[in-house]
Structure 1
Amino acid sequence: MMTSLFSQFASPHLLGLPLVILAIGLPCLLLPMASGRWLESRTMTLFGHFVTRSTNQLFLPLNSNGHKWAPLFMALMIFLLSVNMLGLLPYTFTPTAQLSLNLGLAIPLWLSTVLTGLRNQPTHTFGHLLPEGSPTLLIPLLVVIESISLLIRPIALAVRLTANLTAGHLLIHLVSSAVFSLLPSMFSVAILTTILLFLLTLLETAVAVIQAYVFVLLLSLYLQENI
Protein backbone atom coordinates (compact mmCIF):
# COMPACT_ATOMS: atom_id res chain seq x y z
CA MET A 1 0.00 0.00 0.00
CA MET A 2 2.71 2.46 0.99
CA THR A 3 4.85 1.44 -1.98
CA SER A 4 2.04 2.01 -4.47
CA LEU A 5 1.04 5.26 -2.76
CA PHE A 6 4.46 6.87 -3.03
CA SER A 7 5.41 5.27 -6.32
CA GLN A 8 3.76 8.18 -8.14
CA PHE A 9 6.68 10.38 -7.02
CA ALA A 10 9.32 8.05 -8.46
CA SER A 11 11.01 9.29 -11.62
CA PRO A 12 9.59 7.32 -14.59
CA HIS A 13 11.91 5.58 -17.03
CA LEU A 14 11.53 4.48 -20.63
CA LEU A 15 14.10 2.08 -22.11
CA GLY A 16 16.37 2.89 -19.19
CA LEU A 17 16.22 6.66 -19.81
CA PRO A 18 14.74 8.99 -17.16
CA LEU A 19 11.68 10.82 -18.42
CA VAL A 20 12.17 13.63 -15.91
CA ILE A 21 14.20 15.45 -18.58
CA LEU A 22 11.16 15.39 -20.87
CA ALA A 23 8.91 16.51 -18.01
CA ILE A 24 11.21 19.48 -17.35
CA GLY A 25 11.52 20.53 -20.98
CA LEU A 26 7.91 19.99 -22.09
CA PRO A 27 6.43 23.09 -20.33
CA CYS A 28 8.84 25.34 -22.22
CA LEU A 29 7.34 24.14 -25.50
CA LEU A 30 3.81 25.05 -24.38
CA LEU A 31 4.57 28.69 -23.51
CA PRO A 32 3.43 31.36 -26.00
CA MET A 33 6.20 32.87 -28.09
CA ALA A 34 6.45 36.33 -29.62
CA SER A 35 5.63 36.32 -33.32
CA GLY A 36 7.29 39.62 -34.29
CA ARG A 37 4.03 41.10 -35.55
CA TRP A 38 2.76 44.51 -34.54
CA LEU A 39 -0.31 43.03 -32.91
CA GLU A 40 0.26 39.95 -30.80
CA SER A 41 -2.34 37.30 -30.05
CA ARG A 42 -4.56 37.50 -26.99
CA THR A 43 -2.64 34.66 -25.36
CA MET A 44 0.69 36.42 -25.80
CA THR A 45 -0.81 39.71 -24.59
CA LEU A 46 -2.15 38.09 -21.41
CA PHE A 47 1.14 36.29 -20.88
CA GLY A 48 3.10 39.53 -21.26
CA HIS A 49 0.74 41.31 -18.86
CA PHE A 50 1.20 38.53 -16.30
CA VAL A 51 5.00 38.69 -16.57
CA THR A 52 5.03 42.49 -16.29
CA ARG A 53 2.77 42.63 -13.23
CA SER A 54 4.63 39.80 -11.52
CA THR A 55 7.99 41.44 -12.16
CA ASN A 56 6.79 44.77 -10.78
CA GLN A 57 5.38 43.07 -7.70
CA LEU A 58 8.53 41.06 -6.98
CA PHE A 59 11.12 43.75 -7.60
CA LEU A 60 9.30 46.77 -6.19
CA PRO A 61 11.14 46.61 -2.81
CA LEU A 62 14.55 46.13 -4.49
CA ASN A 63 16.83 48.93 -5.64
CA SER A 64 18.12 49.27 -9.17
CA ASN A 65 21.06 46.91 -8.54
CA GLY A 66 18.66 44.02 -8.04
CA HIS A 67 16.63 44.65 -11.19
CA LYS A 68 19.23 42.88 -13.34
CA TRP A 69 18.09 39.65 -11.66
CA ALA A 70 14.56 40.05 -13.06
CA PRO A 71 14.97 37.84 -16.18
CA LEU A 72 16.44 34.98 -14.14
CA PHE A 73 13.81 35.12 -11.40
CA MET A 74 10.89 35.47 -13.81
CA ALA A 75 12.15 32.57 -15.92
CA LEU A 76 12.37 30.51 -12.74
CA MET A 77 8.84 31.42 -11.67
CA ILE A 78 7.38 30.62 -15.09
CA PHE A 79 9.22 27.29 -15.08
CA LEU A 80 7.98 26.36 -11.60
CA LEU A 81 4.45 27.51 -12.38
CA SER A 82 4.20 25.55 -15.62
CA VAL A 83 5.73 22.39 -14.16
CA ASN A 84 3.52 22.53 -11.07
CA MET A 85 0.37 23.04 -13.13
CA LEU A 86 1.15 20.33 -15.68
CA GLY A 87 1.86 17.94 -12.83
CA LEU A 88 -1.84 18.06 -11.89
CA LEU A 89 -2.90 16.47 -15.18
CA PRO A 90 -3.59 12.72 -15.22
CA TYR A 91 -0.74 10.40 -16.22
CA THR A 92 1.85 13.13 -15.75
CA PHE A 93 4.91 13.50 -13.54
CA THR A 94 5.71 16.48 -11.32
CA PRO A 95 9.50 17.08 -11.28
CA THR A 96 9.19 19.69 -8.51
CA ALA A 97 7.87 16.99 -6.17
CA GLN A 98 11.47 15.70 -6.12
CA LEU A 99 13.58 17.19 -3.32
CA SER A 100 16.77 16.72 -5.35
CA LEU A 101 15.52 18.98 -8.15
CA ASN A 102 14.32 21.66 -5.74
CA LEU A 103 17.64 21.62 -3.91
CA GLY A 104 19.39 21.91 -7.27
CA LEU A 105 17.40 25.09 -7.90
CA ALA A 106 17.52 26.58 -4.41
CA ILE A 107 21.17 26.09 -3.43
CA PRO A 108 22.86 27.77 -6.46
CA LEU A 109 20.46 30.73 -6.46
CA TRP A 110 20.74 31.24 -2.69
CA LEU A 111 24.53 30.94 -2.91
CA SER A 112 24.56 33.51 -5.71
CA THR A 113 22.76 36.05 -3.50
CA VAL A 114 25.19 35.42 -0.64
CA LEU A 115 28.26 35.74 -2.87
CA THR A 116 26.83 38.93 -4.33
CA GLY A 117 26.56 40.39 -0.84
CA LEU A 118 30.08 39.26 0.09
CA ARG A 119 31.46 40.89 -3.05
CA ASN A 120 29.57 44.19 -2.93
CA GLN A 121 29.14 44.84 0.81
CA PRO A 122 31.00 42.28 2.95
CA THR A 123 30.71 44.28 6.18
CA HIS A 124 26.94 44.56 5.86
CA THR A 125 26.64 40.87 4.96
CA PHE A 126 28.63 39.71 7.97
CA GLY A 127 26.67 42.18 10.09
CA HIS A 128 23.55 40.06 9.58
CA LEU A 129 25.18 37.35 11.68
CA LEU A 130 25.10 39.53 14.80
CA PRO A 131 22.05 41.65 15.71
CA GLU A 132 22.84 45.18 16.82
CA GLY A 133 23.01 45.70 20.57
CA SER A 134 23.56 42.03 21.42
CA PRO A 135 25.02 41.26 24.88
CA THR A 136 28.72 40.41 24.82
CA LEU A 137 28.27 37.02 26.48
CA LEU A 138 25.72 35.94 23.85
CA ILE A 139 27.75 36.99 20.82
CA PRO A 140 29.27 33.53 20.06
CA LEU A 141 25.91 31.81 20.48
CA LEU A 142 24.09 34.35 18.32
CA VAL A 143 26.69 34.07 15.56
CA VAL A 144 26.27 30.29 15.52
CA ILE A 145 22.45 30.55 15.47
CA GLU A 146 22.42 33.15 12.70
CA SER A 147 24.93 31.13 10.68
CA ILE A 148 22.73 28.02 10.94
CA SER A 149 19.70 30.13 10.01
CA LEU A 150 21.55 31.41 6.94
CA LEU A 151 22.72 27.96 5.83
CA ILE A 152 19.30 26.38 6.28
CA ARG A 153 17.56 28.82 3.93
CA PRO A 154 18.00 26.82 0.70
CA ILE A 155 16.93 23.63 2.47
CA ALA A 156 13.80 25.38 3.73
CA LEU A 157 13.06 26.64 0.21
CA ALA A 158 13.34 23.17 -1.30
CA VAL A 159 11.50 21.34 1.49
CA ARG A 160 8.63 23.86 1.46
CA LEU A 161 8.02 23.40 -2.26
CA THR A 162 8.41 19.61 -2.10
CA ALA A 163 6.22 19.14 0.97
CA ASN A 164 3.34 21.26 -0.30
CA LEU A 165 3.20 19.56 -3.68
CA THR A 166 3.67 16.07 -2.24
CA ALA A 167 0.94 16.55 0.36
CA GLY A 168 -1.54 17.81 -2.21
CA HIS A 169 -0.84 14.99 -4.64
CA LEU A 170 -1.19 12.41 -1.86
CA LEU A 171 -4.56 13.84 -0.80
CA ILE A 172 -5.83 13.81 -4.39
CA HIS A 173 -4.64 10.22 -4.79
CA LEU A 174 -6.30 9.07 -1.56
CA VAL A 175 -9.61 10.83 -2.24
CA SER A 176 -9.77 9.59 -5.84
CA SER A 177 -9.11 6.03 -4.61
CA ALA A 178 -11.96 6.45 -2.12
CA VAL A 179 -14.29 7.56 -4.95
CA PHE A 180 -13.62 4.40 -6.98
CA SER A 181 -14.03 2.24 -3.87
CA LEU A 182 -17.34 3.81 -2.83
CA LEU A 183 -18.88 4.02 -6.30
CA PRO A 184 -20.26 0.44 -6.51
CA SER A 185 -21.66 0.30 -2.96
CA MET A 186 -22.50 3.86 -1.83
CA PHE A 187 -23.22 5.98 -4.88
CA SER A 188 -24.42 9.08 -2.99
CA VAL A 189 -21.34 9.12 -0.77
CA ALA A 190 -19.19 8.70 -3.86
CA ILE A 191 -20.81 11.76 -5.44
CA LEU A 192 -20.09 13.83 -2.34
CA THR A 193 -16.52 12.57 -2.34
CA THR A 194 -16.21 13.54 -6.00
CA ILE A 195 -17.27 17.10 -5.13
CA LEU A 196 -14.64 17.10 -2.40
CA LEU A 197 -12.09 15.86 -4.93
CA PHE A 198 -13.00 18.69 -7.30
CA LEU A 199 -12.59 21.29 -4.55
CA LEU A 200 -9.31 19.71 -3.51
CA THR A 201 -8.07 19.91 -7.09
CA LEU A 202 -8.91 23.62 -7.18
CA LEU A 203 -7.03 24.07 -3.92
CA GLU A 204 -4.02 22.18 -5.27
CA THR A 205 -4.08 24.37 -8.38
CA ALA A 206 -3.90 27.45 -6.16
CA VAL A 207 -1.09 25.85 -4.15
CA ALA A 208 0.87 25.17 -7.35
CA VAL A 209 0.65 28.84 -8.31
CA ILE A 210 1.33 30.20 -4.82
CA GLN A 211 4.32 27.96 -4.17
CA ALA A 212 6.00 29.04 -7.40
CA TYR A 213 5.47 32.68 -6.42
CA VAL A 214 6.64 32.14 -2.83
CA PHE A 215 9.81 30.35 -3.97
CA VAL A 216 10.85 33.29 -6.13
CA LEU A 217 9.64 35.87 -3.61
CA LEU A 218 11.84 34.45 -0.86
CA LEU A 219 14.81 34.43 -3.21
CA SER A 220 14.16 38.09 -4.00
CA LEU A 221 14.06 38.86 -0.26
CA TYR A 222 17.40 37.09 0.20
CA LEU A 223 18.76 39.16 -2.66
CA GLN A 224 17.42 42.34 -1.08
CA GLU A 225 19.56 41.71 2.00
CA ASN A 226 22.74 41.49 -0.08
CA ILE A 227 22.50 44.41 -2.51
Structure 2
Amino acid sequence: MMTNLFDQFMSPTFMGIPLIAIATIIPWLLWPATTTRWLDNRLLTLQSWLISQFTYNLFSPMKLKGHKWAMTLTSLMLFLISLNMLGLIPYTFTPTTQLSVNLGLAVPLWLATVLTGLRNQPTAALGHLLPEGTPMPLIPILIIIETISLLIRPLALGVRLTANLTAGHLLIQLTAMATLVLLPLLPAAAALTIIMMYLLTVLEIAVAMIQAYVFVLLLSLYLQENI
Protein backbone atom coordinates (compact mmCIF):
# COMPACT_ATOMS: atom_id res chain seq x y z
CA MET A 1 0.00 0.00 0.00
CA MET A 2 2.64 2.48 1.04
CA THR A 3 4.86 1.37 -1.84
CA ASN A 4 2.09 2.15 -4.32
CA LEU A 5 1.52 5.56 -2.76
CA PHE A 6 5.16 6.58 -2.99
CA ASP A 7 5.73 5.16 -6.45
CA GLN A 8 4.62 8.51 -7.89
CA PHE A 9 7.70 10.17 -6.39
CA MET A 10 10.18 7.76 -7.99
CA SER A 11 12.21 9.19 -10.85
CA PRO A 12 10.83 7.64 -14.07
CA THR A 13 13.16 5.87 -16.46
CA PHE A 14 12.97 4.87 -20.09
CA MET A 15 15.22 2.04 -21.28
CA GLY A 16 17.30 2.54 -18.16
CA ILE A 17 17.72 6.29 -18.79
CA PRO A 18 16.38 8.61 -16.03
CA LEU A 19 13.90 11.12 -17.43
CA ILE A 20 14.33 13.68 -14.68
CA ALA A 21 16.71 15.69 -16.89
CA ILE A 22 14.04 16.01 -19.59
CA ALA A 23 11.44 16.92 -16.95
CA THR A 24 13.61 19.80 -15.74
CA ILE A 25 14.27 21.10 -19.27
CA ILE A 26 10.66 21.12 -20.52
CA PRO A 27 9.50 24.17 -18.46
CA TRP A 28 11.96 26.41 -20.29
CA LEU A 29 10.20 25.54 -23.56
CA LEU A 30 6.73 26.49 -22.32
CA TRP A 31 7.25 30.17 -21.58
CA PRO A 32 6.62 32.22 -24.75
CA ALA A 33 9.51 34.43 -25.81
CA THR A 34 9.04 38.12 -26.41
CA THR A 35 9.22 39.51 -29.92
CA THR A 36 10.96 42.56 -31.39
CA ARG A 37 7.67 44.34 -32.09
CA TRP A 38 6.58 47.44 -30.22
CA LEU A 39 3.40 45.76 -29.01
CA ASP A 40 3.11 42.08 -28.11
CA ASN A 41 -0.04 40.03 -27.75
CA ARG A 42 -2.05 39.95 -24.53
CA LEU A 43 -0.35 36.82 -23.20
CA LEU A 44 3.16 38.22 -23.58
CA THR A 45 2.08 41.56 -22.16
CA LEU A 46 0.54 39.90 -19.09
CA GLN A 47 3.59 37.69 -18.66
CA SER A 48 5.99 40.65 -18.84
CA TRP A 49 3.86 42.63 -16.38
CA LEU A 50 3.75 39.79 -13.83
CA ILE A 51 7.50 39.21 -14.08
CA SER A 52 8.27 42.91 -13.70
CA GLN A 53 5.94 43.23 -10.69
CA PHE A 54 7.50 40.23 -8.99
CA THR A 55 11.02 41.51 -9.63
CA TYR A 56 10.12 44.97 -8.34
CA ASN A 57 8.51 43.65 -5.14
CA LEU A 58 11.42 41.30 -4.48
CA PHE A 59 14.28 43.73 -5.07
CA SER A 60 12.80 47.10 -4.05
CA PRO A 61 13.90 46.74 -0.37
CA MET A 62 17.34 45.43 -1.40
CA LYS A 63 20.51 47.44 -1.90
CA LEU A 64 21.67 48.24 -5.40
CA LYS A 65 24.46 45.66 -5.21
CA GLY A 66 21.86 42.91 -4.94
CA HIS A 67 20.05 43.96 -8.12
CA LYS A 68 22.63 42.01 -10.13
CA TRP A 69 20.83 38.89 -8.95
CA ALA A 70 17.50 39.94 -10.47
CA MET A 71 17.81 37.77 -13.56
CA THR A 72 18.95 34.71 -11.60
CA LEU A 73 16.26 34.80 -8.91
CA THR A 74 13.45 35.74 -11.29
CA SER A 75 14.38 32.87 -13.62
CA LEU A 76 14.54 30.53 -10.64
CA MET A 77 11.07 31.64 -9.56
CA LEU A 78 9.57 30.92 -12.99
CA PHE A 79 11.43 27.62 -13.19
CA LEU A 80 10.13 26.39 -9.82
CA ILE A 81 6.57 27.48 -10.54
CA SER A 82 6.65 25.63 -13.86
CA LEU A 83 7.98 22.43 -12.29
CA ASN A 84 5.51 22.54 -9.42
CA MET A 85 2.51 23.25 -11.64
CA LEU A 86 3.40 20.66 -14.28
CA GLY A 87 3.54 18.01 -11.58
CA LEU A 88 -0.20 18.44 -10.98
CA ILE A 89 -1.03 17.17 -14.46
CA PRO A 90 -1.96 13.45 -14.47
CA TYR A 91 0.73 11.00 -15.62
CA THR A 92 3.50 13.52 -15.08
CA PHE A 93 6.44 13.68 -12.71
CA THR A 94 7.34 16.50 -10.31
CA PRO A 95 11.15 16.87 -10.06
CA THR A 96 10.80 19.19 -7.06
CA THR A 97 9.46 16.31 -4.94
CA GLN A 98 13.03 14.94 -5.07
CA LEU A 99 15.18 16.27 -2.25
CA SER A 100 18.29 15.88 -4.40
CA VAL A 101 16.91 18.30 -7.01
CA ASN A 102 15.93 20.88 -4.41
CA LEU A 103 19.27 20.65 -2.64
CA GLY A 104 20.98 20.93 -6.02
CA LEU A 105 19.26 24.29 -6.43
CA ALA A 106 19.52 25.49 -2.82
CA VAL A 107 23.13 24.66 -1.93
CA PRO A 108 24.93 26.44 -4.83
CA LEU A 109 22.79 29.57 -4.55
CA TRP A 110 23.11 29.72 -0.77
CA LEU A 111 26.87 29.19 -1.05
CA ALA A 112 27.05 31.98 -3.62
CA THR A 113 25.39 34.41 -1.19
CA VAL A 114 27.80 33.40 1.57
CA LEU A 115 30.86 33.78 -0.67
CA THR A 116 29.54 37.15 -1.87
CA GLY A 117 29.41 38.35 1.72
CA LEU A 118 32.85 37.02 2.54
CA ARG A 119 34.31 38.73 -0.52
CA ASN A 120 32.57 42.11 -0.25
CA GLN A 121 32.31 42.56 3.52
CA PRO A 122 34.20 39.82 5.37
CA THR A 123 34.01 41.53 8.75
CA ALA A 124 30.23 41.92 8.65
CA ALA A 125 29.76 38.41 7.27
CA LEU A 126 31.80 36.86 10.05
CA GLY A 127 30.15 39.18 12.56
CA HIS A 128 26.84 37.39 11.97
CA LEU A 129 28.32 34.39 13.77
CA LEU A 130 28.63 36.33 17.03
CA PRO A 131 25.91 38.75 18.22
CA GLU A 132 27.11 42.02 19.65
CA GLY A 133 27.39 42.21 23.43
CA THR A 134 27.74 38.47 23.97
CA PRO A 135 29.28 37.53 27.36
CA MET A 136 32.74 36.07 27.12
CA PRO A 137 31.88 32.55 28.42
CA LEU A 138 29.12 32.17 25.82
CA ILE A 139 31.20 33.14 22.80
CA PRO A 140 32.36 29.61 21.79
CA ILE A 141 28.87 28.16 22.22
CA LEU A 142 27.18 30.92 20.23
CA ILE A 143 29.71 30.67 17.42
CA ILE A 144 28.97 26.93 17.11
CA ILE A 145 25.21 27.51 17.21
CA GLU A 146 25.30 30.29 14.62
CA THR A 147 27.58 28.23 12.37
CA ILE A 148 25.17 25.29 12.52
CA SER A 149 22.21 27.58 11.80
CA LEU A 150 24.09 29.00 8.83
CA LEU A 151 24.96 25.58 7.42
CA ILE A 152 21.43 24.25 7.88
CA ARG A 153 19.83 26.97 5.73
CA PRO A 154 20.12 25.16 2.37
CA LEU A 155 18.85 21.94 3.96
CA ALA A 156 15.82 23.83 5.30
CA LEU A 157 15.16 25.31 1.86
CA GLY A 158 15.23 21.92 0.16
CA VAL A 159 13.27 20.04 2.83
CA ARG A 160 10.56 22.72 3.00
CA LEU A 161 9.89 22.58 -0.73
CA THR A 162 10.04 18.79 -0.86
CA ALA A 163 7.80 18.22 2.18
CA ASN A 164 5.07 20.64 1.12
CA LEU A 165 4.78 19.28 -2.41
CA THR A 166 4.99 15.65 -1.29
CA ALA A 167 2.28 16.11 1.33
CA GLY A 168 -0.08 17.77 -1.15
CA HIS A 169 0.40 15.07 -3.77
CA LEU A 170 -0.18 12.33 -1.20
CA LEU A 171 -3.42 13.96 0.01
CA ILE A 172 -4.72 14.20 -3.55
CA GLN A 173 -3.86 10.56 -4.27
CA LEU A 174 -5.43 9.33 -1.02
CA THR A 175 -8.61 11.29 -1.76
CA ALA A 176 -8.72 9.88 -5.29
CA MET A 177 -8.32 6.33 -3.98
CA ALA A 178 -11.11 6.91 -1.47
CA THR A 179 -13.33 8.20 -4.27
CA LEU A 180 -12.75 5.06 -6.37
CA VAL A 181 -13.56 2.82 -3.40
CA LEU A 182 -16.69 4.72 -2.34
CA LEU A 183 -18.12 5.27 -5.83
CA PRO A 184 -19.81 1.84 -6.23
CA LEU A 185 -20.73 1.62 -2.53
CA LEU A 186 -21.81 5.11 -1.43
CA PRO A 187 -22.26 7.51 -4.37
CA ALA A 188 -23.22 10.41 -2.09
CA ALA A 189 -20.03 10.04 -0.04
CA ALA A 190 -18.03 9.67 -3.26
CA ALA A 191 -19.46 12.98 -4.48
CA LEU A 192 -18.20 14.66 -1.31
CA THR A 193 -14.73 13.17 -1.75
CA ILE A 194 -14.70 14.37 -5.38
CA ILE A 195 -15.48 17.90 -4.20
CA MET A 196 -12.75 17.58 -1.59
CA MET A 197 -10.31 16.39 -4.27
CA TYR A 198 -11.02 19.43 -6.44
CA LEU A 199 -10.56 21.72 -3.44
CA LEU A 200 -7.27 19.99 -2.62
CA THR A 201 -6.16 20.48 -6.22
CA VAL A 202 -6.86 24.21 -6.01
CA LEU A 203 -5.01 24.32 -2.69
CA GLU A 204 -2.06 22.45 -4.20
CA ILE A 205 -1.90 24.96 -7.06
CA ALA A 206 -1.65 27.74 -4.50
CA VAL A 207 0.97 25.79 -2.52
CA ALA A 208 3.02 25.21 -5.68
CA MET A 209 3.13 28.95 -6.38
CA ILE A 210 3.64 30.02 -2.77
CA GLN A 211 6.45 27.55 -2.10
CA ALA A 212 8.32 28.69 -5.20
CA TYR A 213 7.96 32.28 -4.01
CA VAL A 214 9.07 31.40 -0.46
CA PHE A 215 12.14 29.56 -1.82
CA VAL A 216 13.25 32.61 -3.83
CA LEU A 217 12.27 35.06 -1.06
CA LEU A 218 14.45 33.30 1.51
CA LEU A 219 17.36 33.28 -0.93
CA SER A 220 16.89 37.02 -1.41
CA LEU A 221 16.94 37.51 2.37
CA TYR A 222 20.17 35.55 2.62
CA LEU A 223 21.58 37.70 -0.16
CA GLN A 224 20.48 40.88 1.59
CA GLU A 225 22.47 39.90 4.67
CA ASN A 226 25.66 39.60 2.61
CA ILE A 227 25.66 42.73 0.46
Summarize the alignment of residues 3-22 of structure 1 with structure 2, pairs less than 5 Å apart.
3-22=3-22
Stretch moving more, 37-46 or 205-214:
37-46
Check if 1:42 corresponds to 2:42: yes
The runs of 4+ residues in structure 1 deviating greater than 3 Å are none
In structure 1, C-alpha distance between the alignment counterparts of 2:60 and 2:98, rounded to whole Å? 31
Q: Which residue of 2 aligns with 1:27?
A: 27
In structure 2, C-alpha distance between the alignment counterparts of 1:75 and 1:15, rounded to whole Å? 32
Summarize the alignment of residues 4-153 of structure 1 with structure 2, pairs less than 5 Å apart.
4-153=4-153
Identity of aligned residues (%): 63
In structure 2, C-alpha distance between the alignment counterparts of 1:2 and 1:189, rounded to whole Å? 24
What's the RMSD between the two structures over aligned residues? 0.6
- Deviation of 1:205 after TM superposition, in Å, equals 0.3
Check if 1:158 corresponds to 2:158: yes
- Deviation of 1:17 after TM superposition, in Å, equals 1.1
Instruction: For residue 171 of structure 1, give the secondary structure of its aligned residue in structure 2.
Output: helix
Instruction: For residue 39 of structure 2, give the secondary structure of its aligned residue in structure 1.
Output: coil
| Structure 2 stretches lacking a partner, 5+ long | none
- Deviation of 1:2 after TM superposition, in Å, equals 1.0
- Deviation of 1:33 after TM superposition, in Å, equals 0.8
Instruction: For residue 7 of structure 2, give the secondary structure of its aligned residue in structure 1.
Output: helix
In structure 1, C-alpha distance between the alignment counterparts of 2:128 and 2:15, rounded to whole Å? 50
In structure 1, C-alpha distance between the alignment counterparts of 2:172 and 2:210, rounded to whole Å? 18
Instruction: Tell me which amino acid in the other structure corresponds to 2:192.
Output: L
Q: Which residue of 2 aligns with 1:173?
A: 173
- Deviation of 1:19 after TM superposition, in Å, equals 1.1
Instruction: For residue 58 of structure 1, give the secondary structure of its aligned residue in structure 2.
Output: helix
Instruction: For residue 71 of structure 2, give the secondary structure of its aligned residue in structure 1.
Output: helix
- Deviation of 1:41 after TM superposition, in Å, equals 1.0
- Deviation of 1:135 after TM superposition, in Å, equals 1.0
- Deviation of 1:14 after TM superposition, in Å, equals 0.8
In structure 2, C-alpha distance between the alignment counterparts of 1:61 and 1:137, rounded to whole Å? 37
Deviations 1:107-159 (A, max 9, x none): 00000000000000000000000111111111100000000000000000000
Instruction: Tell me which amino acid in the other structure corresponds to 1:156.
Output: A
- Deviation of 1:39 after TM superposition, in Å, equals 1.2
Normalising by structure 2, report the TM-score.
0.99
Instruction: Tell me which amino acid in the other structure corresponds to 1:155.
Output: L
Instruction: Tell me which amino acid in the other structure corresponds to 2:39.
Output: L
| Structure 1 stretches lacking a partner, 5+ long | none
Instruction: Tell me which amino acid in the other structure corresponds to 1:85.
Output: M
- Deviation of 1:208 after TM superposition, in Å, equals 0.1
Instruction: Tell me which amino acid in the other structure corresponds to 2:81.
Output: L
